[in-house]
Structure 1
Amino acid sequence: MPLNWTSASPSLVVRGDNLDATAQLPDEAFTVVYLDPPFNTGRQQQRRSTTSTRSAADSVTAITGFKGVAYERIRGDLMRYDDRFDDYWSFLEPRLAEAWRLLASDGTLYLHLDYREAHYAKVLLDVLFGRDNFLNEIIWAYDYGAKSRNRWPTKHDTILVYVKDPSRYHFDSETVDREPYMAPGLVTPEKVARGKLPTDVWWHTIVSPTGREKTGYPTQKPEGVIRRMIQASSREGDWILDFFAGSGTTGAVAQSLGRRFVLVDSNEEAVAVMRRRLPDATFRVVRPRSTRSRAKRDAAATAG
């Protein structure tokens, strides 16, 4: 069923493959695009290989990278370095290229990863979006769960932030919820009362197992983390897109802030959670394309 979506449509939740769904959305329609993809934690994946190459005329990513190194050279070097990356990036890369297309000229991309993939993704995003379009590396730090005794415990995620146009992107730090000073005795009482603006290190707890936010969905992210992104990088009435919506936190936060949203997830359980959480949204299903057309699309998107 075609989405027939426009910027005048109501907020939308789509069940289906996010490439099939986002292909039906118009260019530059979203002020914030958020991707929280499955982390590459060693799960079994189907391996694919592509042999075609990009040309400057047919892809936004066919550009020269850092110090004149071609895109396909950077991508190839990373794949030779770690063969697991080939599977993961073949999955993620076409979705990032689609995110670039959908991002408004004043828009911002937030890519949420863990330590296994963040550094690979940073190098490739520099050539996908452009090195000058890198805005921030946000570290979301938390302190919950078991802790290793034979290395420093890994208690953070990485959120890479890129903009569509470094001369036009929207960012308003004054709209962001403030946080307590870590050393309140070093600042004035007025500053203590107001709180400080967050830096690029966000100390924020995970979703509490007994808190009001808890939906039961296993990969649910806390509203406070998503809230900061949407507050800073969008205005009331702007459209927010989430490729891997999960429990629908992005939609819940966007709605509470007066933004509109499109959420996509292929998991029926996730959509069921979102139906309970976002009863006023429109829900649609996108059927998968034929195997042949999908293979042709993926090959074109991941070639190089």
Structure 2
Amino acid sequence: MTLDVPDAASVSWAPFGPDLVAHGDNLPFLRSLPDGAFRLVYLDPPFNSGREQRRSTTVTRHAPIGGTRMGFHGRPYEVVKSSVTRYDDAFTDYWGFLEPRLEEAWRLLAEDGTLYLHLDQREVHYAKVLLDALFGRECFLNEIVWAYDYGARTTRRWPAKHDTILVYVKDPERYLFDAAEVDREPYMAPGLVPAEKAALGKLPTDVWWHTIVSPTGREKAGYATQKPLGVLRRIVAASSAPGDWVLDPFAGSGTTGEAARALGRRFVLVDENPDAIDVMRRRLGDGVLVTRVVAD
């Protein structure tokens, strides 16, 4: 079970303490943390899409009377909605919201640390200008394009099926990038490379082809904007080492925590959505301290 702190209480993070999930506004919590505490910071903020994000969970049950579908051996059943998670993804001043949180993320990075900022096409161009100013253009490392192929498609323009992840380092001479720890992927044309290289696979480039979390798959945690574990494993493996602390201020379903734990890292996750906290409690389980953020 998770280790819950009573609602009226709050605890501070400590590098010798347990993995931590903080419930509340991430800005006052980030300001309470010490400089340079994290080797890796991953931010997946709301995308400012202008709409409410929802995720429904359904339950299939036997219905002898009034069943709407027929199953095996003609048994009637019905599908009912059991829960809905949601959050508002619309801001009147998006950069007034995000900029101070990026400034705190920069402060919290270790001198050899790396920041990953995950956005879509609506705001990423503004983010790059802001991060160039905050970090310095020489600290820009990569623009990763995560491409997927699922969901509705428009016929009035090229369908948008990618997110962008901007990668910046605190010091371009000291950052960690451990290519040997990254899961390799198949060559797209294995016949063009020696058989030994084809069997090993290749280091991923800055374009990542990876499916989203399937709505009916085993990985599904029941949160509207859940990111795939494979994407976060790649980030955590490349830009941190075993024992390092990883910070995710917009933790959502807790994928960063699951990836960090699987790879032997420590984690601090923050979210103000009660649905997200409930999902993380179920998903991360034993040994995680859940606390509330108390604003100044």
Question: Do Structure 1 and Structure 2 share a fold, with TM-score over 0.5?
Answer: yes
For residue 49 of structure 2, what is the aligned residue in structure 1? 41
Find the aligned partners of 2:152 and 2:275 in 1 and give their Cα distance.
27
Q: Superposed, which structure 2 residues align to 1:131-280 within 5 Å? A: 131-280=137-286
1:89-132 Cα deviation digits (max 9, x unpaired) = 00000000000010000100000000000011101110011111
**Residue 283, structure 1, aligned to residue 263, structure 2:** no
Q: Tell me: CA distance 1:107–1:184, structure 2 relative to 1, closer, same or farther (3 Å).
A: same
For residue 93 of structure 2, what is the aligned residue in structure 1? 87
For residue 3 of structure 2, what is the aligned residue in structure 1? none
Structure 1 stretch displaced more, 247-256 or 85-94 = 85-94
Query: Does the aligned pair in 2 maintain the 1:140–1:158 contact within 8 Å?
Result: yes
1:161-220 Cα deviation digits (max 9, x unpaired) = 000111111111111000111111111221121111000000000001122210110000
Distance apart, 1:85 and its partner CA: 9.0
Q: Identical aligned pairs, as a percentage? A: 70
For residue 112 of structure 1, what is the aligned residue in structure 2? 118
Distance apart, 1:140 and its partner CA: 0.2
Find the aligned partners of 2:105 and 2:130 in 1 and give their Cα distance.
14
Query: Larger radius of gyration, structure 1 or 2?
Result: 2
Structure 1 stretch displaced more, 145-154 or 239-248 = 145-154
Distance apart, 1:2 and its partner CA: 4.3
Q: Tell me: CA distance 1:206–1:43, structure 2 relative to 1, closer, same or farther (3 Å).
A: closer
Q: Tell me: CA distance 1:85–1:248, structure 2 relative to 1, closer, same or farther (3 Å).
A: closer
> SS at the partner of 1:282?
strand
> SS at the partner of 2:100?
helix
1:256-304 Cα deviation digits (max 9, x unpaired) = 0000000000011100111111112111111233xxxxxxxxxxxxxxx
**CA RMSD, aligned part only?**
1.5
Find the aligned partners of 1:43 and 1:99 in 2 and give their Cα distance.
26
Letter in 1 for 2:225: T
1:226-285 Cα deviation digits (max 9, x unpaired) = 111100000000000001000100000100000000000001110011111111211111
Distance apart, 1:10 and its partner CA: 1.1
Distance apart, 1:86 and its partner CA: 7.3
Find the aligned partners of 1:89 and 1:127 in 2 and give their Cα distance.
14
1:3-56 Cα deviation digits (max 9, x unpaired) = 332211111000010012111111100001011000111359xxxxxxxxxxxx
| Count of aligned pairs | 250
> SS at the partner of 1:22?
helix
Task: List alignment gaps of at least 5 residues for structure 1.
Answer: 45-83, 290-304
Task: List alignment gaps of at least 5 residues for structure 2.
Answer: 1-8, 53-89
TM-score (norm 2): 0.82
> SS at the partner of 2:93?
helix
Distance apart, 1:134 and its partner CA: 0.4
Find the aligned partners of 2:45 and 2:117 in 1 and give their Cα distance.
8
> SS at the partner of 1:97?
helix
Task: Give 1 or 2: higher strand fraction.
Answer: 2
> SS at the partner of 1:91?
helix
Find the aligned partners of 2:22 and 2:182 in 1 and give their Cα distance.
29
Query: Does the aligned pair in 2 maintain the 1:3–1:24 contact within 8 Å?
Result: no
Find the aligned partners of 2:153 and 2:32 in 1 and give their Cα distance.
44
